[in-house]
Structure 1
């Protein structure tokens, strides 16, 4: 790769980044609370699955 193609790729990346930042918006309070609840529920579900796997491991394999 030469310097020219790297420069073109970098400029393209910068332009795409600017476009994304123009389109995005800050979430309002209700949307933020919904995102937090969904994230917390997902984390709790993953933790519960890990806990159940650990308990099964302790009960059957030790």
Structure 2
């Protein structure tokens, strides 16, 4: 991997562009993202619990 001044400058320009166009989420958007993330975590946990339960029933019966 070759790092030179041009690649560092290009990376910094891209970072600056992202920071300029990004915005802080408002309260409603934050709540929505939090709800969706929470629901996803719960669903993954339930699936993992069901798989663990089934494996115990199948292998220890």
| Superposition TM-score, scaled by structure 2 size | 0.90
Counterparts of residues 21-36 of structure 1 (less than 5 Å): 21-36=19-34
- Could you list the runs of 5+ residues in structure 2 that have no partner in the other structure? none
Alignment of 1:49 with 2:44, yes or no, is no
- Count of residue pairs brought into register by the alignment: 59
Residue 8 of structure 1, CA deviation: 1.1
Which of the residues 5, 8, 16 maps onto 1:7?
A: 5
Across the aligned residues of Structure 1 and Structure 2, the Cα RMSD in angstroms comes to 1.0
The structure with the largest helix share of the pair is 1
- List structure 1 runs of 4+ shifted beyond 3 angstroms: none
Question: What SS does the corresponding residue of 2:4 show, helix, strand or coil?
Answer: helix
